[in-house]
C-alpha cells in the first residue's frame, strides 16, 4: 500500500491529483508528529499556568467570547461545539470532495499550530484510509469563521455522532464505531475549535474544480479545433506570429495547441477559404487563453491555502504565543471562485456560439446537420439546450464574494460567502462540461458531411473512439442519450 506522509513535502495540485488517482493512504511524518505533540503539550501547560481568558479554549465562541468556562467543563465545551455547529442542510457533498476535505484538514492540523491531540489526527487518518466519509451538506457555511457547519459534520463521527458513508451506503457513526471496535474520542480543550475552524470545505471544492477545469480547458481546445476544421475555418489565426506580439501565456499555449491539432488535416488543404471566420472560431486563443490564465491564477491561490493553517486561535509554542486572528476568512478563495466561474462560463459561452454556427446551414453544411431536414429536426434542439445552460452560467457568475451578512450578534460582521461561491462554481463547471459535450456531438456530426476528407490524425483518433459511444445521426432519435454519452466520453477519455 502506498502512503503519503503528511508534513513531508509541499502539497501541490499535481500531488493531490496523484494521491487521488492512486488512492494513496496517509501517514504522518515524524516532523508532523513532533509538531502536533509539542503544540498540545504547550497548550496543556499554558492552561495550568494561567487564569487568563483564551478565546475558544476556556471561553465561549463568537459573541459569547466573554463567557468564562470552568476548567471541569472544557471537554464538554468542545463536545457541545461540534453538536451545536453541525447545522448543514441542502444536497449532500459529493464523496470525492469529502475525501479531499479530510486530507486537507489533516494537512492543516499537522503543522502544530492548532493544539489538536495526536490521537484525534490519527482517527481522522483512519477514516481517510478506510474510506469512512462523513455525510456533509452543501449549505450552511458563510466562509468566514471557517466552514463551521460542514466541518462540524466532518468531525461528528469522531465523537460518535452524525452519519458516515460506508461502501456507498449511509450508516450512523455509532454503528461504524461499533463495527470497527472503536470508542468515541473525548475532545480536549481547543480540539473542537481546531476541527471546525478552517477553510477545508472551500479548499476541497477548489481542488476538485481546478483539477477538472484543467482537463476541461484542454477539451475546449480539442473540440474547438474540430469545430473550426469542419466549419472550413482558416488556420491563420493560430499561427504563432500574431500571438508573439501579444504574448499572454494562455493565448500562446492555446494558439500552439490548436495549430498542432489542425496540422495535417485534409480540410486545411482546401484551396479557397473565406477571408475571415467568426470570433468564436478565430478568437479561441484569446478567449480560451484568458480562461487558462485564470485557472492558473486560481491554482496559485489554492496552492497557498492547502499548505496553510486556517483555524483559530493560532498557537506558537516557540514564541509562547496564542493569537486569535482571522486565517479562517475565505475572502481569497471567494475571489478565486468568482473569477473561475467567469472563466469557465466563457469557455461554455464561446462553445455554444460555435455549435450555433455549425447547425446554421452555412459553408456547405446542411441545416441542423441532418439529411431530410424538415422531416428530421436533426441537431436543432441540442443548441437550445446549450444556450439555456450558457445563460444559466451567466446568472451563476454573479459574484458571491461581494455579498456579506452579519452573524453572531455582530461579532462576525463581514463574511466571504466563499462556500456559496464554491458550490456554484462546481455547477458552472458541470454546465460547461455539458455545453462542450454538445459541441463535440455537433462537430462530430458535421465531420460526416465533409467525408471522404479527413481531419488531422489526432482528431480522427478521438472521433473514432467517440463513435464507439455515439453513432452518426442519420434520422431523428433520442438525443438526450447522445448528449449524456458525450458528457461521459469527456469525463473518461484521456486526451
pLDDT of residue 326: 93
Closest CA to 437 of 212, 216, 208: 216
260 CB-near residues (< 8 Å, 6+ apart): none
Residues 95, 165: contact at Cβ < 8 Å? yes
Q: What is the mean pLDDT of residues 436-443?
A: 98
pLDDT of residue 331: 97
pLDDT of residue 65: 63
The residue that leads in pLDDT, 269 or 164, is 164
pLDDT of residue 52: 74
Residue with cell 439555456: 388
pLDDT of residue 57: 73
Q: At residue 70, does pLDDT exceed 80?
A: no
Q: What is the mean pLDDT of residues 167-172?
A: 96
Where exactly are the structural domains of the chain? Answer: 3-198, 205-492
Q: At residue 48, does pLDDT exceed 90?
A: no
Q: What is the mean pLDDT of residues 429-449?
A: 98
Q: How many CA atoms lie within 13 A of 66 on its CB side?
A: 2
Among candidate residues 3, 4, 55, 466, the one labeled active-site is: 55
Q: What is the mean pLDDT of residues 420-433?
A: 98
The residue that leads in pLDDT, 189 or 131, is 131
Length of the chain: 495
Phi-psi region of 389 (alpha: psi -120 to 50; beta: other; left: phi over 0): alpha
Q: At residue 54, does pLDDT exceed 90?
A: no
Cell of 236: 491563420
pLDDT in tens, 277-320: 999 999 999 999 999 999 999 999 999 999 999 999 999 999 99
Cell of 278: 467568426
Strand (E) or helix (H) holding 265:
none
The residue that leads in pLDDT, 391 or 190, is 391
Residues 214, 295: contact at Cβ < 8 Å? yes
pLDDT of residue 480: 97
Residue with cell 486556517: 310
pLDDT of residue 204: 98
Please state, in angstroms and rounded to a whole number, the distance separating the CA atoms of residues 66 and 325. Answer: 16
pLDDT of residue 146: 86
pLDDT of residue 119: 97
Of 59-68, 75-84, 110-119, 369-378, the range with the lowest mean pLDDT is: 59-68
71 CB-near residues (< 8 Å, 6+ apart): 47, 58
Q: What is the mean pLDDT of the chain?
A: 95
Closest CA to 351 of 279, 419, 399, 268: 279
Residues 210, 299: contact at Cβ < 8 Å? yes
pLDDT of residue 60: 64
78 CB-near residues (< 8 Å, 6+ apart): 187, 188, 189, 190, 191, 192, 193
Residues 442, 383: contact at Cβ < 8 Å? yes
Q: Active site includes 55?
A: yes
pLDDT of residue 49: 77
109 confidence band (pLDDT: 50, 70, 90): very high
pLDDT of residue 1: 61
61 confidence band (pLDDT: 50, 70, 90): low
199 confidence band (pLDDT: 50, 70, 90): very high
Q: What is the mean pLDDT of residues 430-436?
A: 98
Cell of 72: 471541569
Phi-psi region of 110 (alpha: psi -120 to 50; beta: other; left: phi over 0): alpha
Share of the chain above pLDDT 90, in %: 87
The crossing angle, in degrees rounded to 10, of helices 148-155 and 74-85 is 110
* 3-198 carries CATH number 1.10.357.10: no
Query: How many angstroms from the chain centroid is the CA of residue 165?
Result: 21
pLDDT of residue 62: 63
Please state, in angstroms and rounded to a whole number, the distance separating the CA atoms of residues 333 and 351. Answer: 27
Q: Is the torsion defined by CA of 270, 272, 275, 279 positive or negative? A: negative
pLDDT of residue 145: 83
CA distances from 486 to 53, 160, 424, 466 (A): 59, 43, 23, 8
Q: CATH assignment of 205-492? A: 1.20.200.10
Amino acid at each position: 500500500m502506498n502512503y503519503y506522509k503528511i508534513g513531508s513535502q509541499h502539497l501541490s495540485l499535481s500531488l493531490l491529483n496523484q494521491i487521488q488517482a492512486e488512492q494513496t493512504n496517509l501517514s504522518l511524518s515524524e516532523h508532523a508528529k513532533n509538531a502536533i505533540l509539542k503544540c498540545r503539550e504547550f497548550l496543556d501547560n499554558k492552561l495550568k499556568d494561567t487564569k487568563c481568558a483564551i478565546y475558544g479554549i476556556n471561553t465561549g465562541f463568537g459573541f459569547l467570547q466573554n463567557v468564562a468556562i470552568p476548567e471541569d467543563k472544557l471537554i464538554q465545551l468542545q463536545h457541545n461545539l461540534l453538536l451545536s455547529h453541525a447545522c448543514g442542510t441542502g444536497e449532500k457533498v459529493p464523496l470525492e470532495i469529502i475525501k479531499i476535505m479530510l486530507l486537507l484538514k489533516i494537512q492543516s492540523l499537522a503543522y502544530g499550530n492548532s493544539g489538536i491531540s495526536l490521537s484525534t489526527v490519527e482517527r481522522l487518518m483512519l477514516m481517510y484510509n478506510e474510506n469512512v466519509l462523513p455525510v456533509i451538506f452543501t449549505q450552511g457555511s458563510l466562509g468566514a469563521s471557517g466552514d463551521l457547519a460542514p466541518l462540524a459534520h466532518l468531525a461528528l463521527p469522531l465523537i460518535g455522532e452524525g452519519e458516515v458513508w460506508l461502501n456507498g451506503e449511509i450508516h450512523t457513526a455509532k454503528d461504524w464505531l461499533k463495527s470497527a471496535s472503536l470508542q468515541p474520542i473525548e475532545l480536549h480543550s481547543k480540539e473542537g475549535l481546531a476541527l471546525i475552524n478552517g477553510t477545508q470545505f472551500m479548499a476541497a471544492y477548489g481542488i476538485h474544480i481546478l483539477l477538472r477545469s484543467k482537463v476541461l480547458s484542454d477539451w475546449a481546445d480539442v473540440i474547438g479545433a474540430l469545430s473550426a476544421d469542419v466549419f472550413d475555418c482558416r488556420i491563420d489565426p493560430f499561427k504563432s506570429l500574431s500571438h508573439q506580439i501579444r504574448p499572454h501565456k494562455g493565448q500562446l499555449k492555446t494558439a500552439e495547441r490548436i495549430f498542432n491539432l489542425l496540422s495535417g488535416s485534409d480540410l486545411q488543404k482546401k484551396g479557397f477559404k473565406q477571408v475571415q471566420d467568426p470570433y468564436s472560431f478565430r478568437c479561441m486563443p484569446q478567449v480560451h487563453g484568458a480562461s487558462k490564465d485564470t485557472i492558473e491564477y486560481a491554482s496559485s491561490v489554492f496552492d497557498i491555502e492547502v499548505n496553510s493553517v486556517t483555524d483559530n486561535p493560532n498557537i506558537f509554542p516557540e514564541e509562547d504565543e496564542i493569537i486569535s486572528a482571522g486565517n479562517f476568512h475565505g475572502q481569497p478563495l471567494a475571489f478565486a471562485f468568482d473569477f473561475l466561474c467567469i472563466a469557465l462560463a466563457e469557455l461554455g459561452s464561446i462553445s455554444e456560439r460555435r455549435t450555433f454556427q455549425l447547425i446554421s446551414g452555412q459553408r456547405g453544411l446542411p441545416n441542423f446537420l441532418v439529411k431530410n431536414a424538415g422531416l428530421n429536426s436533426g441537431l436543432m434542439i441540442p443548441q437550445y439546450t446549450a444556450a439555456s445552460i450558457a445563460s444559466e452560467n451567466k446568472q451563476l457568475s454573479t459574484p458571491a464574494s461581494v455579498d456579506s451578512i452579519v452573524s453572531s450578534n455582530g461579532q462576525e460582521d463581514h463574511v466571504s460567502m466563499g462556500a456559496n461561491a464554491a458550490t456554484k462554481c462546481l455547477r458552472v463547471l458541470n454546465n460547461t462540461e455539458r455545453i462542450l459535450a454538445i459541441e463535440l456531438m455537433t462537430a462530430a456530426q458535421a465531420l460526416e458531411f465533409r467525408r471522404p476528407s479527413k481531419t488531422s490524425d489526432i482528431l480522427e483518433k478521438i472521433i473514432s473512439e467517440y463513435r464507439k459511444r455515439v453513432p452518426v445521426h442519420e434520422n431523428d432519435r433520442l438525443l438526450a442519450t447522445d448528449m449524456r454519452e458525450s458528457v461521459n466520453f469527456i469525463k473518461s477519455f484521456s486526451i
